[in-house]
Amino acid sequence: MPPKYKLHITEGTLADYEVARAWWEVNRPKAPLALQDDFDDAMERLERLGDRVGVELLSPGRRGGYRRLLLPRVRYYLYFRLVEDAGAIEVLALWHVSRGTRPQV
């Protein structure tokens, strides 16, 4: 089944992912690939079901808001928004739940 949405992952998200992935591999020896696996699974879900996953959040100044998807095993959120007219999902941030605040998206 072909993907429904094209993914655009921001450079900031990719940079945060690389830092988190490297940390996870060193500091979680029982599941060193957990973050990578969960991130990859989330990307596949977003491609297929992006308009039906996550929790919708409102963002001041942004039309239509954005959504947040929890990666429960690794305790990270993916923040993203649907770009309906382009048939795309823009992945805005990867954020650990312990930070307490939301990223600037």
Is residue 80 within 8 A of residue 67, CB to CB? The reply is: yes
Residue 23: Cβ-neighbour burial (10 angstroms; 0-12, 13-18, 19+):
exposed
DSSP 8-state code for residue 102? P
The span from the CA of 68 to the CA of 80, in Å, is 6
pLDDT tier, 50 (very low <50, low <70, confident <90, very high otherwise): confident
Which residues make Cβ contacts (< 8 Å) with residue 88, sequence separation at least 6? Answer: 5, 6, 7, 8, 82
What ranges do the domains of the chain cover? 6-99
Is the per-residue pLDDT at 99 higher than 60? yes
Class of CATH domain 6-99: alpha beta
Give 1-17 pLDDT, tens digit per residue.
788 899 999 999 999 99
